[in-house]
Amino acid sequence: MASPMSAGRFLDGLRAEGLTVVEVGDWEHHNRNHKGPWGPVYGVMIHHTVTSGSERTVEICRDGYAELPGPLCHGVITKDGTVHLVGYGRANHAGLGDDDVLRAVIAEKALPPDNEANTDGNRHFYGFECENLGDGQDPWPQAQLEAIEKAAAAVCRYHGWTERSVIGHLEWQPGKVDPRGFTMAWLREQVRDRLK
Ligand SMILES: [Zn+2]
């Protein structure tokens, strides 16, 4: 059972991993905590945004939209590999997912198929949104992939988690396809090597 780290520790951990981090507005206090709990935390979730243009991408992830108010994640990882912190606390990124998957993440075991939407993921996952159209064509620059790896590793390092605590939205919520363009198995290998 893990309490979320403080916003300050989150920022420090990302920088210590070698990331370029930009703090956007009052990110430390921008959250959805008034709508539900935040924590205990069990993992890190990776997403793609289905947007293009870094400025617009960061803005959408911070503000959200009428049907889904922001923040839509904690950190936005743009194509240049910069991490933009847009919120901290409960964020609208994971939605309802599968309790069997959550149990596997907690136990750091292989993930079962996500075929139920019965569990509040916004409570339990750190979230990174990654700028990409998600069409299978839009490239993932090396700098961005490295930043995703580092961001996930930074959170795992703080909590003493293995790469098994890093999951994709598509592994959590039925019907989701993100992230698309690399596999989570590949990303977890990178994170595992980085944590050695
Ligand atoms: Zn997603």
The CATH number linked to 22 is 3.40.80.10
Q: What pLDDT score was predicted for residue 119?
A: 98
Domain for residue 109, yes or no? yes
What pTM does this model have?
Answer: 0.98
What is the per-residue burial (b if ≥16 Cβ within 10 Å, else e) of 146-167? Answer: bbbbbbbbbbbbbbebebbbbb
CA of 134 to the centre of ligand 1 (A): 10
CA of 128 to the centre of ligand 1 (A): 9
CA of 167 to the centre of ligand 1 (A): 11
75 band by pLDDT with thresholds 50, 70 and 90: very high
CA of 176 to the centre of ligand 1 (A): 7
CA of 3 to the centre of ligand 1 (A): 23
Domain for residue 2, yes or no? no
CA of 17 to the centre of ligand 1 (A): 24
Dist CA 7 CA 4 (whole Å):
9
Domain for residue 1, yes or no? no
Structure-derived torsion over alpha carbons of residues 42, 114, 63, 137, reported in degrees to the nearest 10 = 120
If one counts the domains in the chain, the total is 1
Tokens representing 190?
């990178």
User: What is the average pLDDT value for the chain, to the nearest integer?
Assistant: 98
Q: Is the pLDDT of residue 63 over 80?
A: yes
CA of 64 to the centre of ligand 1 (A): 13
184 band by pLDDT with thresholds 50, 70 and 90: very high
CA of 135 to the centre of ligand 1 (A): 14
Domain for residue 88, yes or no? yes
1 band by pLDDT with thresholds 50, 70 and 90: low
Interval 96-146: pLDDT, tens: 999 999 999 999 999 999 999 999 999 999 999 999 999 999 999 999 999
Domain for residue 127, yes or no? yes
Provide the residue range defining the domain that includes 181: 7-195
CA of 48 to the centre of ligand 1 (A): 6
Domain for residue 102, yes or no? yes
